[in-house]
């Protein structure tokens, strides 16, 4: 059951991403040759109108295959026959739909369990937070000019800046104060500590608060993804620490087991958190300006819009082909690492 749930979550996220491309393509009058979920040979499929709808053997990935997207086509409904702005809307729709899905998931979470305000529940004696004057009940407003709305944002920000001095703006009794905290190395834990901890209890608000904190929830996961990518680019984390579909399925399965020991409601909330995280992550990853990804295609379209002249399709196709080859090679490495971690 846990593996099935993990695959369903993964498939639902990809389905919604491809649905974004599909709906905007149809709206722009672009022909969709095939809309599929999964990779590899077709298990089952049917054709309706111009489009073949199918389910593939491997339950990872999916595609919205548009007429003339990656090659020449003289058809009036081909991808390249439409205006550059119509094509931009189709390309960007996938990531946007992922962010919409993440927001809907966040909305459900906030309605069910509320949100965690960035209020301190205490400070550690002898650590920088105490010396800086922070106290229980203080609400963190900003960290180095980054606006804070959730306590998890405090946790993730200090994680990514764990050996840097941080300017802190906090609120106490309706007034704002500012201080600077330089973390102190703790030999026992082997990491730098600022010396404060937060109240992870969640609270609920009205309709406007629910909507607002749902947006903050999505922003939290987008920020976490972007910062993680920065660590990868700067060499702070290696490829061995990345997870692909196999690692994700294992992570979801492990979380399911832990949550199932508590309650069915805990399972539901945990799975929704995975859905939000993965959907926001996929949205960000697909917007990266890399060949074969939506972000790479977007770069070519933006250049075309600026130049008011189409880029040679053969040259663009070659760039995306190389990108696909490199991406597949990376996926093989990540999958090998995921499998190796299982044993």
Residues in a beta bridge with 185 = 192
Provide the H-helix boundaries in 80-206.
Answer: 84-113, 128-131, 151-160
Which sequence positions are flagged as catalytic? 18
Class of domain 116-201 (CATH, top level): mainly beta
- Per-residue tokens: 60: 């990872």
Percent of the chain as helix, strand, coil, to the nearest 5: 55, 20, 25
CA distance 312 to 215: 40
The secondary structure of 225-279 as a DSSP string is HHHHHHHHHTTSS-GGG---HHHHHHHHHHHHHHHHTT-HHHHHHHHHHHHHHHH
What are the domain boundaries of the chain?
116-201
pLDDT values of the chain reduced to their tens digit, one per residue, 343 residues: 677 888 888 888 988 999 999 999 999 999 999 999 888 889 998 999 889 999 988 777 788 999 888 767 778 888 888 999 999 999 999 999 999 999 999 999 999 999 999 999 999 888 899 899 999 999 999 999 899 999 999 989 988 888 889 999 999 999 999 999 999 888 887 788 888 988 778 889 899 999 999 999 999 999 998 888 887 777 766 656 666 666 677 777 788 888 888 999 999 999 999 999 999 999 999 999 888 889 999 999 999 999 888 887 778 778 877 877 877 777 777 677 666 666 6
Is residue 214 within 8 A of residue 107, CB to CB? The reply is yes
Which pTM value belongs to this model?
0.87
């Amino acid at each position: 059951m846990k593996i099935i749930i993990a695959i369903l979550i993964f498939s639902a996220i990809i389905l919604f991403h491809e649905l974004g491309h599909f709906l905007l393509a149809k709206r722009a009058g672009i022909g969709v040759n095939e809309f599929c979920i999964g990779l590899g040979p077709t298990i089952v499929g049917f054709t309706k109108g111009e489009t073949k709808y199918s389910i593939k053997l491997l339950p990872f990935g999916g595609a919205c295959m548009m007429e003339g997207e990656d090659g020449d086509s003289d058809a009036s409904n081909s991808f390249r026959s439409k205006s550059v702005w119509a094509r931009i809307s189709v390309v960007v729709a996938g990531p946007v739909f992922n962010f919409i899905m993440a927001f809907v998931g966040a909305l459900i979470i906030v309605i069910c369990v509320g949100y965690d305000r960035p209020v301190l529940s205490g400070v550690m004696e002898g650590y920088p937070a105490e010396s800086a004057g922070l106290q229980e009940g203080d609400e963190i407003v900003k960290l180095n000019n980054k606006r804070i709305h959730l306590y998890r944002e405090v946790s993730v920000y200090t994680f990514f800046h764990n050996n840097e001095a941080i300017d802190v703006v906090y609120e106490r009794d309706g007034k704002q104060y500012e201080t600077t905290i330089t973390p102190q190395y703790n030999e026992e834990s082997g990491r730098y500590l600022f010396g404060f901890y937060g109240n992870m209890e969640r609270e609920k608000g009205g309709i406007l608060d629910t909507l607002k904190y749902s947006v903050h929830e999505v922003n939290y996961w987008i920020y976490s993804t972007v910062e993680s990518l920065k660590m990868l680019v700067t060499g702070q984390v290696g490829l061995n620490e990345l997870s692909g579909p196999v690692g994700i399925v294992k992570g979801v399965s492990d979380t399911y087991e832990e949550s199932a020991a508590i309650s069915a409601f805990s399972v539901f909330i945990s799975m929704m958190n995975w859905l939000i995280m993965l959907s926001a992550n996929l949205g960000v990853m697909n917007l990266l300006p890399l060949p074969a990804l939506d972000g790479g295609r977007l770069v070519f379209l933006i250049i075309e819009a600026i130049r008011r002249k189409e880029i040679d399709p053969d040259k663009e196709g070659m760039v995306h082909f190389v990108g696909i080859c490199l991406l597949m090679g990376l996926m093989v490495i990540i999958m090998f690492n995921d499998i190796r971690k299982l044993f």
